[in-house]
Amino acid sequence: MARRKKIYEGKAKTLYEGPEPGTIVQYFKDDATAFNAEKKDVIEGKGVLNNILSEYFMQGLGQIGVPTHFLKRLNMREQLVRSCEIIPLEVIVRNYAAGSMSKRLGIDEGTQLPRPIVEYCYKDDSLGDPLVSEEHIAAFGWASQQDMDDILSLALRVNDFMSGVMFGVGIRLVDFKIEIGRVYDGDFQRLVVADEISPDSCRLWDIESGQKLDKDVFRRDLGSLTDAYSEVARRLGVMPNNPPAPSKPTLVN
Ligand code: 5GP
């Protein structure tokens, strides 16, 4: 069988040419990185969990009419997506202060924001994905004014959907990052939610205990990342049949 063609290898995913023109196979790796890849590890099972969780969120978004690049999950680590031109922005939506916003503005982590705040970062690892304004985006031609209106509307719809889904299983959606892609239907371009939506790209806190169930567990050495992501999958009812092994043996009396 012919080897398939690798298109791009990122920190957490590898993209291969898909079986049909205009499709891509997105392979979820177990690699975890933080702080612009200064901190690295391989977390067994992370790729499987993110593949399944991203499928769950993207499918749900599709069902409420939010367009995404997702076509179907192929196996435990791969999904088929529509190929799209990624807009070089990280679109961040925040409901509670945390992470870089808390640091930048001196607001305590966990403070509820008066309304969801949308931020844009320029996607460039060598620069550390700097925060940019709509002025930069327009001046450098990264997206048009119409694109920006559509991106804001997509981001807020994703926020409402994700906040509701997570609230339903006792989890607070503190913030998240999405990426947006352009797809072309003939002469028309449409914007879709692309990349992935998973605990790698969201902050998820248990509503009762405040326990972190997202990548901050890895960034801040708070315990087992697999256990945290498994908990999210378990609550959403999408835990795979052969789940990644728990981090520690469980003692049975
Ligand atoms: P912060 O700006 O506070 O570091 O991140 C805000 C939110 O966006 C967090 O949920 C964080 O996980 C997500 N985020 C920001 N930058 C990246 C990134 O480069 N990769 C991923 N996976 N998520 C990011």
> What is the Cα gyration radius of the chain?
18
Q: Which atom of ligand 1 is nearest to the CA of 121?
A: 16
Predicted pLDDT at 249: 55
Q: Is 13 in the pocket of ligand 1 (CB under 6 A)?
A: no
Distance 177 CA to ligand 1 centre (A): 6
pLDDT beyond 60 at 233: yes
Q: Residues with Cβ < 8 Å from 142, sequence gap 6 or more?
A: 87, 88, 89, 122, 136
Phi-psi region of 221 (alpha: psi -120 to 50; beta: other; left: phi over 0): left
What pLDDT digit, counting tens, does each position of 118-152 carry? 999 999 999 999 999 999 999 999 999 999 999 99
Question: Which H/E stretch holds residue 203?
Answer: strand 202-206
Phi, psi of 183 (to 5 degrees): -120, 150
pLDDT beyond 60 at 1: no
Predicted pLDDT at 251: 56
pTM as predicted: 0.95
Residues pairing with 182 in the sheet: 85, 191
Q: Which two tokens stand for residue 47?
A: 């790729």
Distance 81 CA to ligand 1 centre (A): 22
What pLDDT digit, counting tens, does each position of 167-176 carry? 999 999 999 9
Q: Is 202 in the pocket of ligand 1 (CB under 6 A)?
A: yes
Q: Which atom of ligand 1 is nearest to the CA of 202?
A: 10
Region 110-123: what's the mean pLDDT? 98
Distance 20 CA to ligand 1 centre (A): 32
pLDDT beyond 70 at 164: yes
43 and 200 in contact (C-beta within 8 Å)?
no
Q: What is the 3-state secondary structure (H, E, C) of 228-250?
A: HHHHHHHHHCCCCCCCCCCCCCC
Q: Is 203 in the pocket of ligand 1 (CB under 6 A)?
A: yes
